[in-house]
Amino acid sequence: MPTISDNSTGKGELKKMKIYAYTDVDLSDDHLASIPGIDNPYTALINPETYTVEIKYEFENAQGQGTTGGQQQFKVKLPEEMSFEFLFDNTGLIDGKPKENIATEIENFKKFLMEYDGNSHQPRFFKFAWGNDIFKGRCSALSINFKLFNPDGTPLRAICKVTLKQATDEELRVIEQNDRSPDLTHYRVVKKGDTLPLMCYRIYGDPSYYIQVAKVNKLQDFRNLETGSELFFPPIDKTKTTA
């Protein structure tokens, strides 16, 4: 649950967490979203006590023919996810401004995070900014936990858990992922300590292709690779025995 904290380690002014909304993945000032009746950025009433960043890899099992087990092979790095809590409180105990209920604020927050942008016809992009920490992504989930109520049942306090999924443009995503699919053509520069089986393992996930790669590169002695030389690693079909 959020608590009052100054996020300043005893120095400088209090910095409030902010969420900026954009209409494009480049998150430039030119694409800052304009949402009628809603402030952009959204500023936290009080800063969160914690937030969570989740990093995941996806693997696939490579099981050899006639075997009962297999080695997990790296497939892809999934987009990172960040989750944090955002407090709404209309009791007046925090900001000295009591209100009747928080229904309007919650609806505006839902609209800010979840509605499709009218011009781009897609969900908005967001930037979580707090101190030196920045996370860019789209809102993939929003859960609202109402905590305090008037006698007639209208809510006075709610904690919204927001989950952002990392978003980058496609070119940057490909560069960061550095995809090494065996279906692609690769050129690699030999580094000190490299062996051909090791390089085949890095690219294909299987060192046994070193003989085919040696033939393709017309290597007379594949056991002693020349540091700084460039080798060609062709696409392979793993259903066959040759590259």
3-state secondary structure the chain: CCCCCCCCCCCCCCCCCEEEEECCCCCCHHHECCCCCCCCCEECCCCCCCEEEECCEEEEEEECCCCCCEEEEEEEECCCEEEEEEEEECCCCCCCCCCCCCHHHHHHHHHHHHCECCCCCCECEEEEEECCEEEEEEEEEEEEEEEEECCCCCEEEEEEEEEEEECCCHHHHHHHHCCCCCCCCEEEECCCCCCHHHHHHHHHCCHHHHHHHHHHCCCCCCCCCCCCCEEEECCCCCCCCCC
Q: Looking at residue 69, what is its pLDDT?
A: 58
For the record, the structure tokens of 43 come out as 């500023």
Q: Looking at residue 229, what is its pLDDT?
A: 86
Query: pTM for the full model?
Result: 0.61
Q: Looking at residue 171, what is its pLDDT?
A: 42
Q: Looking at residue 2, what is its pLDDT?
A: 39
Question: Which residue(s) pair with 143 in the sheet?
Answer: 161
Residue stretches of the chain with pLDDT short of 70: 1-13, 61-71, 118-120, 168-185, 237-243
Number of Cβ within 10 Å of residue 113's Cβ equals: 22
Q: Looking at residue 82, what is its pLDDT?
A: 93
- For the chain, give every domain's residue range: 18-174, 181-233
CB 77 within 8 A of CB 57: yes
Residues 6 or more apart in contact with residue 175 via CB below 8 angstroms: none
Q: Per residue in 203-228, pLDDT tens? A: 887 888 899 899 989 888 888 888 88
Number of Cβ within 10 Å of residue 138's Cβ equals: 18
Query: Considering only CA atoms, which of 161, 163, 6, 164 is closest in space to residue 88?
Result: 161
CB 203 within 8 A of CB 186: yes
**Dist CA 77 CA 173 (whole Å):** 10
Query: Considering only CA atoms, which of 209, 164, 146 is closest in space to residue 21?
Result: 164
Number of Cβ within 10 Å of residue 109's Cβ equals: 21
Fold (CATH) for 18-174: Elongation Factor Tu (Ef-tu); domain 3 (2.40.30)
Fold (CATH) for 181-233: Membrane-bound Lytic Murein Transglycosylase D; Chain A (3.10.350)
Q: Looking at residue 132, what is its pLDDT?
A: 80
Q: Looking at residue 112, what is its pLDDT?
A: 94
